[in-house]
Structure 1
Amino acid sequence: MGYLVTPSFGFVVGDGKKVRFWKDKWCGTIPLCKAFPSLYALASYKEAWVNEVWTAEGERGGSWNPCFNRPFNDWELEEVEKLFCCLEGKKIRVDEEDRVRWMDSKDGVFLVKSLYRTMQPVSLVSFPSKMIWNSCVQPKLSFFA
């Protein structure tokens, strides 16, 4: 069951102490190591936490400083630019903790209904989920259905 649930979790970065920069989903819907595999291959510290890649500047500002094994070639600069575009607007919030986000709902809150939707195979015949998840149905009946 974990293989169904794990892909649907991501992170909202607060202080960046519990989210891995390259390997966790926090900047988009896939980890940065999969979104930018050529840059990940050049990363000096593949297990870096988000807060280790962020350099605070002043009270509210800062910048991203991932470390790489070597300088970039000309043909790699476009990929670097894409990475920094992805990171644009993201920053560390020292006064907040990192938190888990359920990626399959708009508000990030886990609902059994959204898990059920991810497990439901795509088919032409639709399962009557609207009747099961109807608020007029008693919770016990809805659960067992």
Structure 2
Amino acid sequence: MGQLVTQFFGFEVGDGQNVRFWKDKWCGTTPFCEAFPSLFVTATSKEAWANEVWTAEEERRRSWTPSFNRPFNDWEMEEVGRLLCCLDGKMVRVDEEDRVRWVESKDGVFSVKSLYRALLLVSLASFPSKIIWNSYV
């Protein structure tokens, strides 16, 4: 059951110490390793934390700086552009902690109702709601 539910959790990056840049869902609904597989293959540090990929030398010079094993080929530039679009406006906030968020609700807060709806969409078999929600009182 845990694996079924954890797919609906993501992160909001604060200080970036507990969010993996490539493998956690923090910018959209898919981890970067799945959304940008050819870039992930060439990434130098596949286990990098978000704060390790964030550079903040000065107030004006803040940027994401993932490192790669080689220069990009022409056919990879579209994927690089899509990654940059995803990162646009995202930043590490040193004064805040990373937070877990529920991706199945607009406000990021878990509710049983949103879990039920999410499981209905994922479930191949129909959910036995009449058995579970039936009250004998």
Deviation at 1:57, TM superposition (A): 3.2
Question: In 1, distance between residues paired with 2:40 and 2:106?
Answer: 29
Question: Which segment drifts farther, 90-99 or 71-80?
Answer: 71-80
Question: In 2, distance between residues paired with 1:26 and 1:61?
Answer: 22
Q: Give the counterpart letter for 1:99 in structure 2.
A: R
The alignment partner of 1:100 has SS state of strand
Q: For the aligned residues, what is the CA RMSD? A: 2.3
Q: Is the 8 A contact 1:57 1:63 kept in 2?
A: no
Indicate how the Cα distance of structure 1 residues 7 and 60 shifts in structure 2: closer, same or farther if over 3 A, else same: farther
Q: For 1:51-70, list aligned pairs within 5 A.
A: 51-59=51-59, 62-70=62-70
Q: TM-score, normalised by structure 1?
A: 0.81
- Segments ≥4 residues shifted beyond 4 Å: none
The structure with the larger Rg is 1
Look up the match of 1:135. none
Look up the match of 1:42. 42
Question: In 2, distance between residues paired with 1:16 and 1:22?
Answer: 12
Look up the match of 1:17. 17
The alignment partner of 1:81 has SS state of helix
Look up the match of 2:105. 105
Q: Give the counterpart letter for 2:65 in structure 1.
A: N
Indicate how the Cα distance of structure 1 residues 122 and 106 shifts in structure 2: closer, same or farther if over 3 A, else same: farther
Q: TM-score, normalised by structure 2?
A: 0.86
Q: Give the counterpart letter for 1:100 in structure 2.
A: V
Question: In 2, distance between residues paired with 1:7 and 1:64?
Answer: 25
Q: For 1:114-125, list aligned pairs within 5 A.
A: 114-120=114-120, 121=123
State percent identity of aligned pairs. 67
Indicate how the Cα distance of structure 1 residues 6 and 74 shifts in structure 2: closer, same or farther if over 3 A, else same: same
Deviation at 1:111, TM superposition (A): 0.7
Q: How many residues align?
A: 130
Indicate how the Cα distance of structure 1 residues 104 and 119 shifts in structure 2: closer, same or farther if over 3 A, else same: same
Question: In 2, distance between residues paired with 1:60 and 1:99?
Answer: 26
The alignment partner of 1:40 has SS state of helix
Q: Which runs of 5+ in 1 are unaligned?
A: 133-140
Indicate how the Cα distance of structure 1 residues 118 and 88 shifts in structure 2: closer, same or farther if over 3 A, else same: same
